[in-house]
Structure formats: C-alpha cells, structure tokens
C-alpha cells in the first residue's frame, strides 16, 4: 500500500523549496504495480509535469516519438530488450532523456554509469533517494533548457537556388551518383554533400546509415518489416509507397538503436 506520514510529506515539501522546473517523465517497467508506485511517488514530490508509462523498450521508443521526456526511470530486467540495452540505444537520439535506473538488482550499478545513467535506485524506492535523483536530473537537463541551440540545417539545391533545410524536417537521404537526394515529407532536394559526410554530420541528430545508399531519420521510422529473404524494410512516416531496405550487416545495430 502506498502511504507516507505527514512528517515525511512536510520533509518532501521543504526539499522542494526553490524548485522551478517541472520535469516530463517516462516510466519504463514491465510490471504495472511498479510503474503505478513510482508514478505516485514522483507526483508526490511536486516536481513532475507529465508522466508517460511504457511496459517494454519497444513501447518506450514509440512513446518517445510522441512525447518529449526529460528523464526516463528505467527498469533493467525486462523481456526481450533489457533496460541496459535501451539506455545504450538512446544515445543515438538527437536529444535523449536523462536515465535513472530503478531496479531490484544491485550488481548492474557499475554498468549503469557506463551508459551515462544519472542515478541508480533500488526497489522499493525511498522518497529521500528519489528526491536526490531528481536533484541530479535537474542539474543534467538545466543547461539544455537555458539556451536553445541554433537549428542545424543542410544546404541544398532547389530550382537553381540554395535552400537551407532543417535536419529535423528530413525523413531520409538517398545516394544518387556523386550527389545526395534529401527527402522531407513534402519535397526532394539535391545536395552536393556526399552520403558519407552527411552520415558524419547527422549521426548526433538521430540519423542512421541503414544501407550504403540510404540514411534514415530514426524519429520517422514508422514500421519495420521482415520480407521473405530475411531482409528488413523500413516504412517512413509521411512518405507513402516507399520502403527502404536495411543492409544485413547493419540490422543488429539498427534494432538496438530502435530498441527492438
């Protein structure tokens, strides 16, 4: 049963003084009671804005495409893709959430900080330790909120003129001889920048080289299909009637990046 004494609540309130940044949270745990308990404790701190829940790593990736999260409270032991594997995959995203592991197992603590986790909480979670973790998360996410970095853009050719396309509008990029074709949901642009150079430039923005001829924006991957020959094909949100094949040697890395 979830309960706290009035004294504990007063103590939490004092620790919250001066807090002026509401955090958007995602809780990832395959056990519903554990998610419910943590959600309650987080809301009780008065520091939390939205809370989104996911029961698996795959569901977490899908939810991240729809809901921005400042911090992910992540269980380690989950079916199929573990929390540790998901934490590694998050580094592929342009703006990954901070990660706080919440687990019943102490032996993964060293490995957790190897994937840049902010904190490591043991179940059952104590309110004081949760508040300490939120303090660390605030320190981690605060710099990114204080200054908005300039939008990264790629110079392209369109109808004889130079156009600057924001990278977050790009769905995928295709190699065409010595050029690159950049596709958004509404248009196609020609770039003189090679696919290899674009790969290096965009790797920190959530893009992934799935094939020697294609780079995709992982944020717009809508579905993953395995065809009869065992090759994966990707469907891209906002681009109809287009399937992008994945090179066999890139399948494992792609699945990891997508949390599959």
Q: Taking Cα atoms as reference points, which of 138, 102, 168, 112 lies closest to residue 20?
A: 138
So what's the pLDDT on residue 47?
A: 86
Task: Strand 179-183: give its sheet, edge to edge.
Answer: 161-166, 153-158, 188-191, 179-183, 172-176, 214-217, 207-211
Give the pLDDT of residue 6. 39
Task: Specify whether the CB–CB gap between 54 and 27 falls below 8 A.
Answer: yes
Global pTM exceeds 0.75: no
* pLDDT in the model for residue 21: 63
| Sign, CA torsion 31/32/37/38 | positive
- Residue 3, judged by CB atoms within 10 A of its CB (0-12, 13-18, 19+), counts as exposed
C-alpha distances in Å from residue 49, one per residue of 71, 95, 254:
11, 18, 32
Residues of the chain with pLDDT under 50: 1-20, 144-149
Q: 205 is written with which tokens?
A: 């923005």
Q: Specify the pLDDT at position 68.
A: 81
* Residue 101: closest CA among 139, 72, 132, 62: 72
pLDDT at 65: 78
pLDDT in tens, 199-218: 888 877 888 898 889 999 98
**Cis before 199 (ω within 30):** no
164 bridge partner residues: 155
């Amino acid at each position: 049963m979830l309960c706290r004494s009035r004294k504990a609540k007063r103590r939490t309130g004092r620790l919250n003084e001066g807090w002026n940044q509401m955090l958007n949270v995602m809780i990832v745990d395959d056990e519903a009671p554990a998610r419910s308990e943590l959600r309650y404790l987080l809301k009780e701190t008065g520091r939390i804005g939205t809370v989104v829940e996911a029961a698996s790593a795959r569901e977490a990736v899908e939810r991240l495409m729809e809901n921005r999260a400042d911090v992910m409270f992540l269980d380690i032991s989950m079916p199929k893709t573990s929390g540790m594997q998901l934490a590694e995959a998050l580094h592929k995203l342009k703006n990954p959430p901070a990660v706080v592991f919440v687990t019943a197992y102490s032996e993964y603590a060293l490995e957790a900080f190897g994937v840049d986790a902010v904190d490591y909480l043991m179940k059952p979670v104590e309110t004081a330790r949760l508040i300490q973790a939120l303090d660390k998360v605030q320190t981690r996410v605060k710099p990114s909120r204080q200054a908005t970095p300039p939008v990264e853009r790629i110079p392209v050719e369109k109808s004889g003129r130079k156009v600057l396309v924001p990278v977050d509008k790009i769905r995928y990029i295709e190699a065409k001889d010595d050029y690159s074709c950049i596709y958004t949901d509404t248009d196609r642009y020609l770039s003189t920048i090679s696919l290899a150079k674009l790969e290096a430039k965009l790797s920190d923005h959530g893009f992934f080289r799935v094939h020697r001829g294609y780079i995709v924006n992982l944020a717009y991957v809508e579905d993953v299909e395995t065809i009869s020959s065992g090759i994966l094909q990707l469907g891209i949100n906002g681009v109809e009637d287009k399937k992008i094949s994945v090179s066999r040697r890139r399948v494992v890395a792609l699945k990891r990046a997508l949390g599959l």
